Structure 1
Amino acid sequence: MSEHRRGIVTGGTWCVDYNRVVTHWPEEDGMAEIVGEERHGGGSACNLAIDIKRLDPAMPVDTIGVVGSDEAGRYLVSLAEEFDIGTEQLTVTDAMGTQFCDAYVSRITHRRTHVYSVGAATLLTPEQFDFSATRARFLHLGLPGVHRQLDAPHGSDESGWVTVLKKARAAGLQTNLELASIERERLLALTLPCLPHLDFIIVNDHEIGALTGMATVQHGVTDIAACERAARAVLEKGAMSVVVVHCPAVAIAVSRDGRRLIKPSVAIPPELVVGANGAGDAFAAGMLYGLHEAWPLDDCVRLAHAAAAASLRSVSTTVTVESWRQCLDLARDWGWRSEPAGHRLEA
């Protein structure tokens, strides 16, 4: 790692989230009432960039993506400017409207369901990623399955994602890939060729199962032992120094140097939980921030959990993430869940 490098580049999805709290998530042909709604920025590149800036406003953050020249695009650009996120490579196009997502959060379960329109995200290509001048240390890239030109083969590479990751590493950056909740077969096909070009991967319990074909979650129950086995299997398939798997109750980290960590999550009071939308992004932001600062693995996971817990207090993805010190203070005040007695944990 080059010590003179500092900062994070986020690349990929910038969209507008229309976050709606509903009484419950209905079956098809059913009906639910909207009891709250907000508009915020969303997508992996947007969320992690803002989360990092909330954790540490002094951390340099740049971003690469495509938005439309419409009102939604102007809103996203203004968000980036508000948080002092570098936008030199955030392309504004007249060709298509800005990607947007209707994000529904159940008031009962706090789980979220996303329905999106891809819009200008389909125009993002590997050629738009220029790492020649950046002094950033990390690239956070996503989301496979959402950007059609990056999903397709590019030159001799299996996909544009592979091309971008190779370019970033050749320029001296370390890489992380954010995944989306798409079909398991599609997720595997897009992600597997990327693993040899990643330094980290931070995924949830469903995604790690998709990458290995293992049953890591069954009937809403996370199998910790299966997640750990899957994490080790993914570690062996790629170049990552660490693989991290998270779910609402626990995180599992395995590293190439043989370290293994299972850390329960923060015991946030249930009455403070509004929605889980963006909690995975907040977890990744805390994890990457700690890795960037060369913290011990345990401290990285601790901050990841703390940032995710802080984010649960809002239906939006980033609004309630605080500074890294404040997130850790909240975790200390709320306490931590008990160590899992066995290898299965209710999700």
Structure 2
Amino acid sequence: MRNGIAIAGTVMVDEIKSVKGYPAKSELTTIEQMKRSMGGAVSNCSLSLAHIDPDLPIEIIAYVGEDEKGQYVYEGFSKYENIDLSKVKFTGDTPFTDVIFDEIDKTRTFYTYKGNSTAFNEDAFPLTEIKAKILHVAYVLLLDALDKEDEEYGTKLAKLLHHAQKEGIQTSIDIVSENKDRYEKVVPPALKYTNYCIVNEYEAGKSTGIELREQDDSLIGSNIKEALTTMKRMGVQDWVVIHAPEASFGYNGQTFYSLPSLLIDKNRIKGTVGAGDAYAAGILYSAEKGNSLYESMKIATASAASSLLEEDSASGVKDIHTLKGMYDNWEKREEIAFL
């Protein structure tokens, strides 16, 4: 019987630099403080899951660089007894991201070096050796080799996901937020072989061609249902979940759900790096345990909120019992009507 979660994709190092206000082009700003942490979808999701449940079996499928940064992330994973590193391969340079965190408006901007992630392909996946119930691959649009075209399946990733499902593994994907127009070509093929699609409102909008924010940046609630329905129609077999700072929205093919985010004082927010992955970890954990979509969204919302309480991507994420209490007892934002 399968159990646990396998996380595959990008492993990188986040070099977090805090500034008080982002400069205009050709202008200078002072770096107030610097901090290094493990980053990328694999690090963020795996460590969040390990914090949620230290007994949950977690398998990592990734490339780690043959350099100091690679040793840093490998040692970081090794601190967790429930993380299986047997499928990790050392090769090339470790990807890294300079994360510029604006202390004033609490936003972050990313400058990424892809390193060995460009070579991460289907050969990295020993599907017959995976014991996990769910395989989560991220991020679509950032895994160059898997985003390549495939004549039969559309993309190499779609082919991989199909083969994983044939092995009895449930599949999940997340997408990176990029300012290019590749979404409608690269994303739909993967959705055909996806059980759980967990994305933010920008990624959902770009993937479906449906505007989900007004020019004033407010959510277009009336379009959320259409985006959920469209992604489900594209082939997602179980759950489509769209998360935004204000709320999250889910659809399981029968029922639509809308849950407001937890209301956190801005003074308590130390960083927003990895909040989306912390949300995904909450969904994946709950799905692995057989919870309903509604209950899973509650756990995911609390997981994302708790991640904001620390500067890095995962150390703020709480255990499952704390997360359940957080959503039930913390103040929430106003509900967003979207039906």
Q: Does 1:129 align with 2:118?
A: no
Q: Deviations over 1:251-279 (max 9, x none)?
A: 111111x1111110111222111221100
Distance 1:297 1:148 in 2: 31
Which runs of structure 2 are paired with 1:162-173 in the superposition (5 Å)? 162-173=158-169
Q: Hey, what's the Cα distance between the residues in 1 that align with 2:179 and 2:185?
A: 10
What SS does the corresponding residue of 2:175 show, helix, strand or coil? coil
Q: For the Cα contact (< 8 Å) 1:44–1:142, is it kept in 2?
A: yes
AA at the equivalent of 2:13: V
CA contact (8 A) 1:105 1:113 kept: yes
2:52 is matched with 55
Using the alignment, how far apart are the partners of 2:33 and 2:165 within structure 1?
Answer: 43
The whole-number CA distance in structure 1 between the counterparts of 2:211 and 2:203 is 11
Q: Does 1:175 align with 2:171?
A: yes
Residues 105, 315 of structure 1: 8 Å contact kept: no
Pairing 1:44–2:35 present: no
- Which of 74, 77, 80 is the equivalent residue of 2:77? 80
Q: Deviations over 1:43-102 (max 9, x none)?
A: 111211111111001000001111211110011111111123111111101xx2110000
Q: Distance in 1 between matches of 2:300 and 2:249?
A: 12
Counterpart residue number, 2:310: 314
Q: CA RMSD in A?
A: 1.6
The aligned residue for residue 88 of structure 2 is 90
What is the alpha-carbon distance in structure 1 between the residues aligned to residue 287 and residue 185 of structure 2? 28
| Number of aligned residue pairs | 337
Matched, 1:216 2:209: no
Is 2:184 the partner of 1:188? yes
Deviation at 1:148, TM superposition (A): 1.9
Counterpart position of 1:29: 26
2:262 is equivalent to residue 266 of structure 1: yes
8 Å CA contact retained: 1:140, 1:175: yes
Q: SS of the residue aligned with 1:91?
A: strand
Output the amino acid matched with 1:224.
G
Which of 61, 65, 70 matches 1:68?
65
Q: What is the TM-score when the length of structure 2 is the normalising length?
A: 0.95
Higher mean C-alpha displacement, 190-199 vs 157-166: 157-166
Q: 1:269·1:334 contact (CA, 8 Å) conserved in 2?
A: no
Q: TM-score, normalised by structure 1?
A: 0.93
CA-to-partner distance for each residue in 1:238-258, whole Å, 9 max, x for gaps?
A: 1321111110111111111x1
Instruction: Give the SS at the match of 1:261.
Output: strand
Listed as ranges, the gaps of 5+ residues in structure 2 are none
Partner of 1:245: 242
Identify which of 136, 140, 144 aligns with 2:136: 140
Q: CA contact under 8 A between 2:3 and 2:132: conserved in structure 1?
A: yes
| Separation of aligned partners in 2, 1:202 and 1:106 | 26
The answer to whether the 8 Å contact 2:199/2:242 transfers is yes
SS for the counterpart of 1:46 is: helix
Please identify, of 130-139 and 22-31, the stretch whose mean Cα deviation from structure 2 is larger.
22-31
Secondary structure at 1:175 match in 2: strand
- 2:5 counterpart of 1:8: yes
